[in-house]
Structure 1
Amino acid sequence: MSNSVWEHLYSHLDSTPRRLALNLPALEPRVANLESMMANLIAVSENTSRAVAQLSLEMAQFKDEMQDFKDEMQDFKDEMRVFKSESEQWRAKSDESLEAFRREMREENRKLNKQLGEIANKQGRIAEDLVAPSIGRIVREITHSSCEETEYEAVRVRTHHRISGERREFDVLAVCGEYVLIVETKITLTPEKVDGFVALMEDIRNYFPEYEGRKMIGGLATLYADASIVTYASRRGILVLAVGDDLMDIQNGPLFRPREF
């Protein structure tokens, strides 16, 4: 290295302390400001740390409270599940008891009606004691309530054939709206008796010309009707009545429609 370079370097180093000494008054405010900013930063950092710590504590407490709430809700759900199970068991037992009571009452009612029917049969009063009290309800059911109240009900109706003059007695007659129901009582029902009643109904208007313009339907009443006889009579359009829950009940199926004569 040349002598000139060394001389320049020495001169520069020699002048540096003097320059720093000259600039020190100007640096002091900046240093003070920097120290103030650092102090503020430290304070803010400490406050932030305290806030974060407080928030963490509150979150931990909230988490514990939520866990307690979940536990309480689970306990409540368990209690409700037990209550629901017990309620369903109680309701099932109640329904079974009620249904058993209903079955027992229906059976007792059926037995009572059968006994009444047997007594009436012995006395020859099936029409008066069994059919007549039920005839209004039956005619409304079989006509699907097209009439609200029967206009006329009668037992042991005596009349004569308007052409031959033959006199005949009909067991029960009911007039309801546009319908006239004729019911004959039989101790037992057979296909032959059904056919004979159909033949009678085909000539029924000669016995009741006063009901011209009304729909005439016929029914057979008995104490007990075998299912095969009910089927046969239904095919011929004849209503079948037998002892049931309400004295005399309709034995034909729900889709049955009586023949109009």
Structure 2
Amino acid sequence: MPELKERVDRLEEAMMRLVYIQQKTEMEIQALKQEMKEFKDEMLEFKNEMKDFKDEMKEFKDEMLEFKNEMKDFKDEMKDFKDEMKEFKDEMLEFKNEMKDFKDEMKREVRRINKQWGELSNKLGTIVEDIVLPATRPIIKKYFKCDPDTLMANVEKKLNGKTEEWDVIAICKDKLFLVEVKATPRVEYIKQAKEKATKLKEFFPEYKDKEIILIFASLSIKEDILNKLTKEGIYAMAYREWEYMDILNFEEVKKISLEN
């Protein structure tokens, strides 16, 4: 009997272990199933995400293809634009060259006409009225910053039985300009012009408070005469390269005046 009881006990123990193992196995199987389910769910989610990613990549590729096509069209347009700009630049360069030739031709023609007009005025004795007088006002405005109130040509006045003549007189608020004109400038004419300037206030006492500015004018002035005028502090007015009447030594005379 004791032996039988011992066998029964071992059998019960074995059965309990078997039940335990079975229950443990079932728990592990359930846990495994749960893990598998979670894994499948994750895989499904990943699959869906991959599908969305593929769709996005496809959309991106389509957009890139469209952008590539647009860039190709843009490049083609830019190439056409560059070609058009090159043609335009070539045309503008050609036009510029033509305009330069035209301007050079016009300058030559202006010089020729001015020279002929000056020679004709010399012959007719109308150099003052035709050339010097029309140029006096703009030259005074340009260099002396005043617009003459009075501008007279071939001024003649008598005083105490004496008669004096001046070619051009221009009057500003505080300045009186005397423009003496010579068809053929000579050194001795410079002294005569200075003497005429000194007589102005004698014959026109109403202008005694004004500064007298002497301008020696001709169609052209040689370098030696120009240098003499500059040393004397006298402005020289003549054609500049037969293009326009101008003061040829303004800065030099102005510098001398400031030094004195």
Aligned partner of 1:85 in structure 2 is 86
Counterpart AA for 1:120? S
Structure that is richer in helix per residue: 2
Aligned partner of 2:247 in structure 1 is 250
Q: Which runs of 5+ in 1 are unaligned?
A: 1-6
State how 1:118-137 maps to structure 2 within 5 Å: 118-137=119-138
Aligned partner of 2:188 in structure 1 is 192
How many percent identity over aligned positions? 21
Q: Which runs of 5+ in 2 are unaligned?
A: 1-6
TM-score between the two structures when normalised by the length of structure 2: 0.77
CA distance in structure 2 between the aligned counterparts of 1:11 and 1:256, rounded to whole angstroms = 140
State how 1:57-206 maps to structure 2 within 5 Å: 57-144=58-145, 146-147=146-147, 150-160=148-158, 166-206=162-202
* Aligned-residue offset at 1:204: 3.5
Counterpart AA for 1:159? K
Structure 1 SS opposite 2:169: strand
Aligned partner of 1:17 in structure 2 is 18
* Aligned-residue offset at 1:157: 1.3
* Aligned-residue offset at 1:36: 3.3
CA distance in structure 1 between the aligned counterparts of 2:229 and 2:135, rounded to whole angstroms = 20
* Aligned-residue offset at 1:102: 2.7
Superposition CA RMSD, Å: 3.4
Contact 1:179–1:217 (Cα < 8 Å) also in 2:
yes
Structure 1 residues 195 and 82 mapped into 2: Cα distance closer, same or farther (>3 Å)?
Answer: farther
Aligned partner of 1:217 in structure 2 is 213
Structure 1 residues 222 and 62 mapped into 2: Cα distance closer, same or farther (>3 Å)?
Answer: same
Contact 1:233–1:240 (Cα < 8 Å) also in 2:
yes
Contact 1:219–1:238 (Cα < 8 Å) also in 2:
yes
Deviation track 1:90-118 (CA, whole Å, cap 9, x = no partner) reads 33333333333233223222222221211
Structure 1 residues 22 and 135 mapped into 2: Cα distance closer, same or farther (>3 Å)?
Answer: closer
| Structure showing greater relative contact order (alpha-carbon pairs closer than 8 Å, 6 or more residues apart) | 1
Aligned partner of 1:3 in structure 2 is none
CA distance in structure 2 between the aligned counterparts of 1:189 and 1:20, rounded to whole angstroms = 140
TM-score between the two structures when normalised by the length of structure 1: 0.76
Structure 1 residues 20 and 178 mapped into 2: Cα distance closer, same or farther (>3 Å)?
Answer: same
